[in-house]
Amino acid sequence: MSRHTIAVIAAAGAMAIAAGGATSQAQAQDVKIGLILPYTGPGAELSPEMDKAIDLYQKLNAAQIKPYKLTIIKRDSKAPNGAAAKIDAQELLTQEKVDVLAGWIYSPDAIASAPVVTAGKRLGVIMNAGTAFITNLSPYYVRTSFTLWQSSYVMGEEAAKYLHAKTAVVAYTDYPPGKDALNAFKYAFEHNGGKVIDAIPAGGPEATPDFTPFFQRVKDEHPNVLFVFVPAGDQATAVVKTFAALGMKAAGTQLIGTGDIVPDDLLQGMGESAVGLITVHHYNADLDNPQNKAFVAAWKKAYGPDSTPNFTSVGAWDGIAAINHALHATKGKIDDGAAAVKSLEGWKFNSPQGPIEIDPHTRDIVMNEYLDQVVKGSDGKLHEKVLATFHNVKDQCKELAIGPCAPKK
């Protein structure tokens, strides 16, 4: 072995050691995110959509996340009884010592967890739960999803202004989001000259009811519009099909609703019956903005051409983006909940759903709402056409401070 070779080997060895030292020095700070979602029980179909969005964000934005490393610790919140989610939050904070909590599909889970989040003094990013007053329950809650008041209030206004409806009937699933949708629609519609002539509670959230008797009653009342809220899922398909089967459109009633009745992942399965439906929502997969084009294309590339992201995926995407922002704004000290929340107050972000902002006073999302109509495209598939855009829509329940959003005495 020549002296030269030995020198080369020695030099290579020294470089390897130096490089090793360098990597360990620049080693990513590990940030633990506790994710509380119902992986079993009635909400189990939504959680994988949110997981996919979170994975996709980390994959596509690896450069923006650096030098930090996000570790997601998942916990099952099981049936929506609040207790399981609360124990999850306690154990994530005390055993896993997470820096941030996130998730919450069901409102009761977020409501029950509120005292724990407050006591744990960690940022809690609500990625789906939609009951309006939740953000009042803990100063560490920030919401990146929606409230039913945002979409339903705009729908109520536009039913009167855009559709020139005079009378409406509301059919809603008999649980808090349904009641929120009813109250918001009714408030806005009646303040714009309309009249809600009937409000029909149509079953609970867990099983899909037969909508025929409810809709037959609506048909006999001849309203201009029928406003429906049901949870996005199988109930939505049943609503659209029953409405078409009863020939209510020909009888002069327009079906309108929140975007929950035409979820993106189920739209193609609804077929001809969905064409012409008018809804208001903050997201649809056909939105024409560069962020959404890139988001949907990356989604289809990662999860198959037949898989379509929906609004729950976007809530999770925006939530993880918010965590990433807070992480950089606090220079890695995201475990200081008060500082993390402060860094998100007034935070602006170009989301796939358009520009969003966190309201500095309520820590709730401010976003665009879109008046959409279902149309059949030249490719033979169903698409959402945006008829009008409403900018910077706030949660009207807290803005008007009515009902459960009124400040406590």
Partner 1 sequence: MRRHRLRWWEALPWIAGLAFYFAFPDYLGFGCDLLVTILFALSLDLALGYAGIITLGHGAFFGVGAYTVGMLASYNIWTEPITGLLLAAAVAGVIGFLSGLVLLRTTGLTLLMLTLCTMTLLYEAANMAAAYTGGFDGLPSLPISPVFGVFEFNPLYADTQYLFALGVILVCFIFVRILVYSPFGQSLTGIRENVLRMHAIGSPVRRRLIVCYTISAALAGVAGGLSAQTTAFVNLAVLGLDRSATVLIVLILGGYGRLYGAFIGAVVYLALEHFLAQIYPAAWQLGLGIVLVLIALFARNGILGLGETLWQRFGPRRAAP
Residues in contact with partner 1 by the rule CB under 8 A: 37, 39-40, 44, 47, 74-76, 78-83, 86-87, 90-91, 93-95, 107-108, 111-112, 114-116, 118-120, 131, 137, 174-176, 179, 204-205
Q: What is the DSSP string of 309-330?
A: --HHHHHHHHHHHHHHHHHHHT
What minimum distance in Å lies between the beta carbon of 59 and partner 1? 20
Nearer to partner 1, 174 or 399 (CB): 174
Nearer to partner 1, 111 or 274 (CB): 111
Nearer to partner 1, 77 or 368 (CB): 77
Nearer to partner 1, 119 or 388 (CB): 119
* Cβ atoms < 10 Å from Cβ of 65: 18
What minimum distance in Å lies between the beta carbon of 306 and partner 1? 22
Give the side-chain half-sphere CA count within 13 A for 344: 33
What minimum distance in Å lies between the beta carbon of 103 and partner 1? 11
Q: Which amino acid is at 30?
A: D
What minimum distance in Å lies between the beta carbon of 367 and partner 1? 23
As given in the structure block, the two tokens for residue 26 are: 């620049």
What minimum distance in Å lies between the beta carbon of 295 and partner 1? 24
| Spatial separation of the C-alpha atoms in residues 358 and 345, rounded to whole Å | 6
Nearer to partner 1, 107 or 273 (CB): 107
Decide if 33 contacts 65 (C-beta within 8 A). no
What minimum distance in Å lies between the beta carbon of 96 and partner 1? 9
* Cβ atoms < 10 Å from Cβ of 141: 25
Query: Residue 245, SS3?
Result: helix
As given in the structure block, the two tokens for residue 164 are: 């020139």
Q: Which residues contact 265 (CB under 8 A, 6 or more apart)?
A: 49, 307, 308, 309, 310
| Spatial separation of the C-alpha atoms in residues 253 and 222, rounded to whole Å | 7
Q: Which amino acid is at 226?
A: L
Nearer to partner 1, 273 or 312 (CB): 312
Nearer to partner 1, 112 or 397 (CB): 112
**What single-letter DSSP state applies at residue 408?**
P
**What single-letter DSSP state applies at residue 27?**
P
Nearer to partner 1, 131 or 324 (CB): 131
What minimum distance in Å lies between the beta carbon of 45 and partner 1? 12
What minimum distance in Å lies between the beta carbon of 366 and partner 1? 23
Decide if 365 contacts 371 (C-beta within 8 A). no
**What single-letter DSSP state applies at residue 384?**
E
Q: Which residues contact 33 (CB under 8 A, 6 or more apart)?
A: 70, 71, 72, 73, 98, 99, 100, 101, 102, 320, 323
Nearer to partner 1, 36 or 344 (CB): 36
Q: What is the DSSP string of 374-400?
A: EEE-TTSSEEEEEEEEEEEE--HHHHH
φ/ψ of 393, rounded to 5, equals -85, 125
What minimum distance in Å lies between the beta carbon of 112 and partner 1? 4
